[in-house]
Amino acid sequence: MKTIHVAPSLLSADKSKLLDEILEVERFGATYLHWDVMDGIFVPNVSYKVEDVKKYAKVHHMVNDVHIMVSDPEIEAQLFIKAGADLLTFHIEAVKSHEEASKLIDEIHKMGAKAGLSIKPMTSAESIFDLLPKLDLVLVMSVEPGFGGQKFMPMAVDKIKALRKEIDSKGYNCLIEVDGGINEETGKLCKEAGVDILVAGSYIFGHDKKERIDSLK
Ligand code: DX5
Ligand code: ZN
């Protein structure tokens, strides 16, 4: 069976002991560390800043998986890669056209990071098929972005299936990640649909992290 990666979302971590939270999830088998970045414009919430990523990017060996939910991804992408993002994921809904998305993917690669593209629940998987050849990852949002602790939207499962089919049949080198409302049960549905990386925030933090990470794998 293929490896399933778990990416704890720091949105639900205890910020007063962030270093311990990060080191714990790494010790318990997480291989990606999911940083949610929000600007209060693209989504009605604010979260991690460049300084946070800079401070903690090198204290662990997980992939710094930075998910930017912002209205000016071109500027923010650069700042977060400089701060230590290994994988930079922006939203297709935040750019004007697929041409712009394509340019930004090239920029991200030029800066030495992997490029991910995220789709909100109302955006179809098929609408970004044209960009798959250039992408390292597609992030399927299974909740409306903005807040942790929401309920999983089952339509994400069909999107993962459609992406898996397209990626495999064309031989692209692109991972599929899902984010929002992931727990043991919804994680299982996504794994069966062909996902590679499970993001989970409220399911992991504030609980027995080892037991929760193991249950997702
Ligand atoms: C939502 C974020 C998610 C969120 C996941 O906008 O992108 O990463 O923190 O949280 P849970 O796992 O609690 O749904
Ligand atoms: Zn996220």
pLDDT tens for the 217 residues of the chain, in order:
788 999 999 999 999 999 999 999 999 999 999 999 999 999 999 999 999 999 999 999 999 999 999 999 999 999 999 999 999 999 999 999 999 999 999 999 999 999 999 999 999 999 999 999 999 999 999 999 999 999 999 999 999 999 999 999 999 999 999 999 999 999 999 999 999 999 999 999 999 999 999 999 9
- Cβ-proximal residues to 25 (8 Å cutoff; 6+ apart), any chain: 8, 33, 62, 204, 209, 213
Residue nearest to atom 9 of ligand 1 (CA): 148
Q: Report pTM.
A: 0.98
| Residue ranges lining ligand 1, Cβ < 6 Å | 9, 11-12, 34, 36, 67, 143, 145-146, 148-150, 179-182, 199-203
